[in-house]
Amino acid sequence: MITMDTKLDKLTRISASHAKKLEKLGLLTVRDLLYHFPSRYEDFSHIYDITELETDTNATIAAQVSDVKTIRIPRRHLTITTATFTDDTGSVGAVWFNQQFIEQQLKTSNVLRISGKLTTNAKNGLHFNSPNVERLERTPTSTGRLVPIYPETAGITSKWLRWQIQLIREQNIELPDPLPDTVRKELKLPTLADALRLIHFPKNNEEIVYATKRFMFEEMFILQLITLRSRASLAKERATKVPIDEQLIKNFIQTLPFEPTNAQRTSSFQILKDMSTPTPMNRLLNGDVGAGKTLVAAIATLQVLSAGHQVAILAPTEVLASQHFNSFLQLFQKYDYNMGLLTGAYKIYGSHPALIQSTTRAKMLKKISLGELDLIIGTHAIIQEDVSFKDLTLIVVDEQHRFGVAQRAKLTQKAIESNDGNKSTVPHFLTMTATPIPRTFALALFGDLDVSVLDEKPAQRKEIKTTLVHPNNSDKIYDFIKKELDSGRQAYIILPLVEETESLKDVKAVKQEFERLSTGVFKDYKLGLMHGKLKSKEKEKIMQDFSNNKIQILISTSVVEVGVDVPNATAMIIENAERFGLSQLHQFRGRIGRSDKQSYCFLFSTHFNSQRLKAMEKYSDGFKLAEIDLKLRGPGEFLGSQQHGMPDGVMKNISNTKLVTLARTHARNTLLESNSLKKYPTLKKELDRFYMQVHME
């Protein structure tokens, strides 16, 4: 019997080859396929007479077929099938390319329903271009209706997907509904069975909206359940109380070459106060670019280390982990704390830049478990099963949304279960982001966290002058960059890609641009190249050379977005700026302007009148830009399409305050009614599935 959990490769109509291709779309089970929703619909519901047809329009006709023939052109690896369709009003032709099967389909059927786009050329006149055809007596799936168009991959078409989904629906498989009946009825939402029917095979737009509302709510509801349970789970635990040592913090601040902002002071106090209680801290430090979250994390870390406990700091990349390691070495060089960097490529430790030494992973793990390392900085390597701590009291996760959307829950669970030598307590938990997140977004994405906001820049920082530039005027900007370099400054040039692809031929490939600039306009300067395909040690070497001014211009893809901190860099060019979101552009821009020197950012784009890009000239407030970005591009683009890991429905509606509030209210009421969800076994199963799929990826 087929269930929602049946693997697709077990279905008789799906071959091993198709199953492999479906895997590329993330479709492994019947459930995955049924939840593979259309990205859009084409309206072929109206059936036209042939005399009503017009070029460059979509249309459906019901007609008889004749004159079917196929010609083959071997040298071009091409087959062309043509046919004529006739109804009471006239005739029209149709052409298919490389669809040999269509001839047999046409010949075995007399009266057909044909849906497709009409085009006109000198050879064929007005004709259908590769239309879908179905027997008139058959229930329509690809013709004569609102036809769903799905995300596809090579070898998997929307037509094939429609056919498979229809076959599954005809088997009347059991569809347990995760939404509690009381919630669903109160909100007047369809059952799961009805919603799946309406989303895949709607009769009209109203049915699409009705089904979409249900799935939007379902995904947000489950996310809110996860965050509320995570918060409740952590609240039951006990953490080590870390008393606030005001004199320690005052002395540390006095050693700094700058005065902390009020936002830094407020956020630091909130964190220190949280850690002084036996309830585990679970806080998000939501900061603007350059607002100084590292200092706030350092104050929290210093307090914990001075009390004799261990701290772990997680970063999403080795580049950023290495950057943090070097920053903390400098900040704490007057203290006698042993620090270690643990990533896939690095296993090093020491208490001072001059005392750093490499070691093996095994020796690092031993030092961590014995408590010989006080501060451990690294990537997800820190939370592997073989890592144990002696007294882990604070976990700091930087840029946590880049780990995949709610890996936070996994990390929180890790903290609760952490093998830290003290079974009665769990670590305090601080997560940080330098991507300014609007309030409603933070509520949905980080609903289980208390939030501290860093929205002030250090007083000594000058506002970065940002200018939108047409590429035709690039020579003037290059001359300006040369002047900056000649005065001892450094610069970045950011490009969208590593190599050209067929679909993005107009984008300059970073390697080609490096060659062009290093042998042309900047031939008298030292250039470096950094991109995502380099090995970690190569990136580290390039970063080090750039930091030491051995490289004057760093040409890079978006890997430079976080992790590179070079105060001497005062100029930046961002090529094809229209290909980035405002939040990402703001992140790039934040790599400069990190000293008291005036800095300049130039956005190269042919989209010279883009109001979106002009917002970069107008605003330096990351929170304002994030709100604009969220509104214009949507949350998926806001976070980066490959990084959020969140279901599409949630991402599209995460800034919908009403939906988030509604889902949160019903999630809270559901947990009050049945905290363990025993009363709702289907919902609990769905929650477990969601947790495994999203958090463990």
Q: What is the pLDDT of residues 36-94, one digit of tens each?
A: 999 889 999 999 999 999 999 999 999 999 899 999 998 888 999 999 999 999 999 99
Identify the pLDDT of residue 448.
Answer: 60
Higher-pLDDT residue of 317 and 670 is 670
Query: Strand, coil or helix: what is 347?
Result: strand
Identify the pLDDT of residue 596.
Answer: 83
Identify the pLDDT of residue 471.
Answer: 87
Query: CB burial class (10 A; 0-12, 13-18, 19+) of residue 421?
Result: middle
Identify the pLDDT of residue 323.
Answer: 82
Residue 615: how many CB atoms within 10 A of its CB?
19
* 427 φ/ψ angles, rounded to the nearest 5 degrees: -70, 155
Residue 125 bridge partners (DSSP) = 121
Residue 310 bridge partners (DSSP) = 392
Residue 657 has pLDDT above 80, yes or no: no
* 313 φ/ψ angles, rounded to the nearest 5 degrees: -120, 120
Residue 646 pLDDT class (50, 70, 90 cuts): very low
Residue type, 29: T
Q: CA angle 156-160-166, nearest 5°?
A: 135
Residue 654 has pLDDT above 90, yes or no: no
153 and 147 in contact (C-beta within 8 Å)?
no
Residue 372 has pLDDT above 80, yes or no: yes
132 and 114 in contact (C-beta within 8 Å)?
yes
d(CA 96, CA 103): 9
DSSP letter (8 states) at residue 463: P
For residue 304, give the nearest of 254, 259, 252, 265 by alpha carbon. 252
Token digits of residue 328: 């903390």
Token digits of residue 178: 């995760």
d(CA 79, CA 235): 67
Residue 345 pLDDT class (50, 70, 90 cuts): confident
Q: Which domains does the chain carry?
A: 1-41+152-174 (1.10.150), 46-144 (2.40.50.140), 242-454 (3.40.50.300), 465-619 (3.40.50.300)
Q: CA angle 333-336-341, nearest 5°?
A: 70
Residue 547 has pLDDT above 50, yes or no: yes
For residue range 242-262, list pLDDT tens digits in order.
999 999 999 999 998 888 999
Higher-pLDDT residue of 630 and 350 is 350
Residue 434 has pLDDT above 80, yes or no: no
Residue type, 69: K
Residue 119 pLDDT class (50, 70, 90 cuts): very high
* 451 φ/ψ angles, rounded to the nearest 5 degrees: -125, 130
Crossing angle for the helix pair 318-331 and 536-547, nearest 10 degrees? 40
For residue 620, give the nearest of 441, 455, 433 by alpha carbon. 455
Residue 643 pLDDT class (50, 70, 90 cuts): very low
Residue 123 pLDDT class (50, 70, 90 cuts): confident
Higher-pLDDT residue of 475 and 584 is 475
d(CA 428, CA 422): 13
Residue 461 pLDDT class (50, 70, 90 cuts): confident
For residue range 380-389, list pLDDT tens digits in order.
778 777 888 8
Listed in order, strand segments (DSSP E) in 102-231 are 111-121, 125-135, 146-149
Q: Compute the average pLDDT of residues 314-341.
A: 88
d(CA 423, CA 651): 37
Residue type, 369: S
Residue 108 has pLDDT above 70, yes or no: no
d(CA 452, CA 302): 19
Find all residues with CB under 8 Å of 216, minimum gap 6, and list them.
Answer: 649, 650, 652, 653, 659
Identify the top-confidence range among 106-120, 295-309, 344-358, 371-385.
295-309
Residue 395: how many CB atoms within 10 A of its CB?
26
For residue range 155-180, list pLDDT tens digits in order.
899 999 999 999 998 888 889 999 99
Identify the pLDDT of residue 407.
Answer: 47
DSSP letter (8 states) at residue 7: B
Higher-pLDDT residue of 543 and 302 is 302
Residue 92 bridge partners (DSSP) = 85
Distances (CA, A) of 12 to 7, 23, 123, 164, 322: 11, 17, 43, 11, 51
d(CA 243, CA 527): 49
Residue 645 pLDDT class (50, 70, 90 cuts): very low
Higher-pLDDT residue of 217 and 559 is 217
Residue 282: how many CB atoms within 10 A of its CB?
22
Alpha-helix residue ranges (DSSP H) falling in 432-550: 439-445, 474-486, 510-519, 536-547
Q: Poorest-confidence range of 16-25, 382-391, 668-677?
A: 382-391
Alpha-helix residue ranges (DSSP H) falling in 309-379: 318-331, 361-369
* 487 φ/ψ angles, rounded to the nearest 5 degrees: -95, 10
Identify the top-confidence range among 438-452, 560-574, 663-677.
663-677
For residue 249, give the nearest of 308, 298, 313, 282 by alpha carbon. 298
> Beta strands 40-43 and 146-149: pairing type?
antiparallel
Q: CA angle 668-670-675, nearest 5°?
A: 90
Share of the chain above pLDDT 70, in %: 88
Residue 697 pLDDT class (50, 70, 90 cuts): very low
Tell me the pLDDT of the chain averaged across its residues. Answer: 85
Q: Compute the average pLDDT of residues 191-205.
A: 94
647: left (phi over 0), alpha (psi -120 to 50) or beta: beta
Identify the pLDDT of residue 503.
Answer: 38
d(CA 276, CA 242): 5
Q: Poorest-confidence range of 332-341, 516-525, 541-550, 595-604?
A: 541-550
d(CA 601, CA 587): 12
224 and 665 in contact (C-beta within 8 Å)?
no
d(CA 203, CA 189): 18
Residue 636 has pLDDT above 90, yes or no: no
